[in-house]
Amino acid sequence: MSTHFSETSVVRGACPQDCPDTCAFLYHVEDGKLVEVTGDPDHPMTRGGLCVKLKNFAEHHYNPDRLLYPMKRVGPKGSGKFERISWDDALARIRSEWTKIIDQYGAQAIMPHAYLGHQGTLNGLTSGDAFFNRLGSTVAEKTYCESGSSTAWIMTVGPTGGLDVESLAYSKYIIVWGMNMLNTNLHAWPFILEAKNKGAKIVVIDPVRTRTAKQADWHIPIRPGTDGALALGMINVIIGEKLADDDYVAKYTVGIEGLAARAADYTPEKVSAITGIPADDIRTLAREYAKTQPTAIRQGVAVERSPGGGDAIRLMTILPALTGAWRHVGGGAVEMPIWEFPFNFDFMCRPDFIRPGTRVVNELDLGAALTGEMELDPPIKSLFVYNSNPVSQAPNAGQIVKGLMREDLFTVTSELFITDTAKYSDIILPATMQAEQYDLMVTWGHLYVMLNQPAIEAPGECIPNVELFCRLAKTMGFEDEHFSLSEDEMLMGSYDWNSPAMEGITLDKLKERGWMRLNVGIPSERAPHAEGNFKTPSGKCEFAASAAENGNFVAGVWRSGYEDMQPGNPVEAVPTYIPPTESAADNSGLAKKFPLNLLSPKPHAFLNTQYGNEQTQQLRQGEQLIVINPKDASTRGIDSGSYVRVFNERGSFEALAEISSDVIAGMIMTNVGHWPGLNRTGTAVNSTTPPRHSNLGQAGAYSDNLVEVQAT
Ligand SMILES: Nc1nc2c(c(=O)[nH]1)N[C@H]1C(S)=C(S)[C@@H](COP(=O)(O)OP(=O)(O)OC[C@H]3O[C@@H](n4cnc5c(=O)[nH]c(N)nc54)[C@H](O)[C@@H]3O)O[C@H]1N2
Ligand SMILES: Nc1nc2c(c(=O)[nH]1)N[C@H]1C(S)=C(S)[C@@H](COP(=O)(O)OP(=O)(O)OC[C@H]3O[C@@H](n4cnc5c(=O)[nH]c(N)nc54)[C@H](O)[C@@H]3O)O[C@H]1N2
Ligand SMILES: [Mo]
C-alpha cells in the first residue's frame, strides 16, 4: 500500500486490542513521528479516556526490540538466535518447505495458529483463513475466548447483541458476573456509576474481591466453576416464590416446564453447599433480582473457563427472560454485542475453499497435536503462528514447548516481538503496529463501527497481516481474485453494507469521522427483546434449546465461518449444573496432592501478553504474584512477599506471595499475561493449566486447575 503521510497531523484511529472497549483514537503526528495517542472525547462510549495499557502507545511503536525484518533461526530451536534475511528469501524458504511437506504428507500436515493479537477485520482473527483454506491446511478451531459463552448465548437467545452496555445507565439492579470490569471493560464503568448515582444496586459475583468487587454494593464470593448451580438456585427461588413474569414466559419463551423441573432440585441449601454462598444470600439475590426492574446482567468471560461454563452461561442468559427484565430499557443481559454487526463470514473466511473432508484441530489442543499425544494422520509438520502467543496463553504450555522443539517441525511466526512462542520459530516475519495500518475494527463491547487509518510509515520491512497473506498466496501460486483485492474491496466484501444496521454508514464517512454507531436503536430507548424477537429458531428465549440437537457446535467466527463441520458431543436441551473436574469437592483424590484451585484472570497493565515486555507497564503491573488466603498461607509457612513455587503434575512456575483475604480459602489467584521467559523459572501460569474444554464451544477450561504452593 502506498499511502501518503503528511508530516504533521491528527489522524483518526481505533485501538487494536482484544478488549470489549475498542477506544476511538487520535494519532498525533509531528515531523512524521507519532508523538502521542489520545482518546477521542466525542466517542459516546469511550469518551476520550484510554486505559493504563495504552498510556504509552506512541512509544510502543518505537520499542527498540521490535521485529523490523524477516529473520531465520541460526541457533538450536528455542535459543533465540536469529539472523536477518530478505522477504524474498523468507518466502522462498516457506515455499520450499511447504512444497516438500505437501508432496510427502499432504497440505493438512500444515496447521495455522491464530488468535486475537489484532482485532481488525483485515488483520485480525480471520485474516489468514482464506489463505489457509485455499492451501488445504488443517482447519484450526480458534476457541481461546468467548466461544463457550457465545455458543451458550446463541443457543438461548440467538445471535443478538442483547442489552446495550450504554443502557446500563438506566438499570436499577446490575449484576457484574465473573468480570473484573475496572480492569477489563473500563469504559462500561461510567454507565454503571450513572445508574448507581440514580440509586441502582451493583452486585459483583466473583471468587476474588477484585477492584470492581470493592466498588460494588454487594460482593458475592463464589467457588470457581459453580455459577451454574447459583443460577439454578436463583431460578429455584424465583419459580418457587412465584416471582417469575408469567406473561413474558408464556409469550416469549419455550421450555419452562423442563427448566422448573431441573431447578426444583437446586434448593438454596443445596446450592449453598456447592457454591459456598450462604443460602439466605442466594434467596436475597433471587428476590432482589426478580422484584427490581430493570435488572441487568453483565456476563464476563471467566464463567466459561470451567467444565460446566457453557451451561452456566445458558442459565445466566435465561434469568432476564424468566423475570421479564427484557421488557425494559436497561434490562436484560449482555454477552457481547458483536452479533449486531452484519459480518459476511463466507467472504472473510472463504469456507468454500475448504476441501471436503478436511480435519479440524482445536488450537487449545496444540501440545497434544504437536507431540503426537493426539493421533493425527498426517502429523503436523509445519505450524504457522500469527496474532497469537500460545506458549504463554494456551493451556499445558510445557507440552507445547516440547512440541515446538521437534527438529522436524517447520515453524513460522508473524510477530511484533520475539515472544516466548516466536523464539521457537525457524522463520519470523515482522508485522506492523496499529498506527501503521488500515483496518475496520471488530468490536465486542459496544455498537460503533470503528475505522483505523494509518498515521505513520511502517518501520523496516513490517507489513500488515492482510498483506502477508496476499504475499503468501502469490508465493504459493494462488491466482484467486480474493488475494489481489484492495483493502477497501475486502472491507466491502466483509460486511453486508446494505443491511438495516449499516444504513447510512459508508467507508467514506468513516474515513472522515472515524466511527459511527450501528442503527440498532439508541441507548435510552433500546429494548430489543421487549416483545420477544429472539433470534433463535423458535423466535423465543429457549430454556430448552433447539440447537442442542446439533450437539456441541462452535458458534460464529471461531471456525473459519463453519458452525457444524463436525458433530460435537451431545448437549442436553435444558441446561444443567456440571461440576468442576478439578476441585476439592469434586475430586478429593487429586485435591489431596493439589488442594488449591488456581484462577488466572487478566492483568491490569498488560493486554494478555502485550506490553508485558515493556518496562513502563511492567512497573505498573509488578511481578508475577499469587494471592493466597491467610489460612492457606499459614498452614504452608508462606510469608507475604516471599517467593513460592506453584505446581501440579503438568508443570510449575514461581511467583511472589501476597497474603490477602481478597481470595477465599482453598483457592489462589495469579494473572495470565506475564511473559514466561521474563519470569524466574521461564514459565508462567499456563504451565499448570489443563488442556481441557468447557462443555460448550470447545472453550478452554483454564480455571479447572488444582495446584499446590510451596515456599521456595
Ligand atoms: N487489562 C486488561 N483488560 C483486558 C484483557 C487483559 O489482558 N488486560 N483481556 C481482554 C480479554 S481477551 C478478555 S477475554 C476480557 C476478559 O475479561 P473478564 O471477563 O473480566 O475476565 P477475567 O479477567 O478472566 O476474569 C474476570 C473475573 O472473573 C473471576 N472468575 C474466575 N473464575 C470465575 C468463576 O468460575 N466464576 C465467577 N463468577 N467468576 C470467576 C476472576 O476472579 C476475575 O476477577 O478482558 C479483556 N480486557
Ligand atoms: N491461564 C489463562 N490463559 C488464558 C486466559 C486466561 O484467562 N487464563 N485467557 C484466554 C483469552 S480470553 C485469550 S483472548 C487468549 C489470548 O491469547 P493471544 O491472542 O495469543 O494473546 P496475546 O498476548 O494478545 O498474543 C497475541 C500476539 O499477537 C501479536 N500481534 C499483535 N498484533 C499483531 C499483528 O498485527 N500481526 C501479527 N502477526 N501479530 C500481532 C502480539 O505481539 C502477541 O504476541 O489467552 C487465553 N489464555
Ligand atoms: Mo479473551
> Per the structure, how many domains does the chain have?
4
Q: What is the reported pTM?
A: 0.97
Q: Mind giving me the DSSP string for 575-593?
A: ------SSSTTT-HHHHHH
Domain end position, chosen among 477, 498, 517: 517
CB distance 266 to ligand 2 below 6 Å? no
pLDDT in the model for residue 8: 83
Ranges of the chain whose pLDDT falls below 50: 1-2, 561, 564-567
675 in ligand 2 pocket by Cβ < 6 Å? Answer: no
Residues 416, 507: one domain?
yes
| Number of residues in the chain | 712
Tell me what pLDDT residue 565 has: 42
Burial class (CB in 10 A: 0-12, 13-18, 19+), 566: middle
Say what percent of the chain tops pLDDT 70.
Answer: 97
To the nearest 10 degrees (0 to 180), the angle between helices 279-291 and 268-275 is: 110
Range of the domain at 616: 588-711
Report yes or no on 529 lying in a domain: no
Both 418 and 310 in one domain: the answer is: no
Beta-bridge partners for 440: 451
What is the CB < 6 Å shell around ligand 1? Answer: 18-19, 53, 145, 177-180, 183-184, 205-208, 210, 222, 224-225, 227, 300-303, 306, 599, 601-604, 606-608, 673, 703
Residue 312: partners with Cβ closer than 8 Å, 6 or more residues away: 152, 227, 228, 231, 303, 304, 306, 575, 577
Q: What is the DSSP letter of 208?
A: B
Q: Ligand 2: does its nearest atom lie under 6 Å from the Cβ of 671?
A: no
Question: Longest Cα pair distance anywhere in the chain, in angstroms?
Answer: 72
Closest C-alpha residue for ligand 2 atom 8: 600
Does the CB atom of residue 431 touch ligand 2 within 6 A? yes
Q: Are residues 157 and 118 in the same domain?
A: no
Mutate to test the pocket of ligand 1, among 206, 581, 604 (most ligand atoms within 8 A of CB): 206
Give the CATH number for residue 668: 2.40.40.20
Q: Are residues 513 and 445 in the same domain?
A: yes
Q: Is 570 domain-assigned?
A: no
- Cell digits of residue 254: 419455550
pLDDT of residue 556: 56
**Residue 568: its pLDDT value, please?**
56
Q: Give the neighbor-by-neighbor strand order of the sheet with 71-73.
A: 82-84, 71-73, 427-430, 410-415, 382-386, 110-114
Q: Does residue 576 sit within a domain?
A: no
Note the pLDDT tens digit of each residue in 147-174. Answer: 999 999 999 999 999 999 999 999 999 9
145 alpha carbon – ligand 3 mean position (Å): 4
**420/490 same-domain check:** yes
Where is the domain boundary, 273, 307, 335? 335
* pLDDT attached to residue 5: 73
What Rg do the C-alpha atoms of the chain give, in angstroms?
A: 24
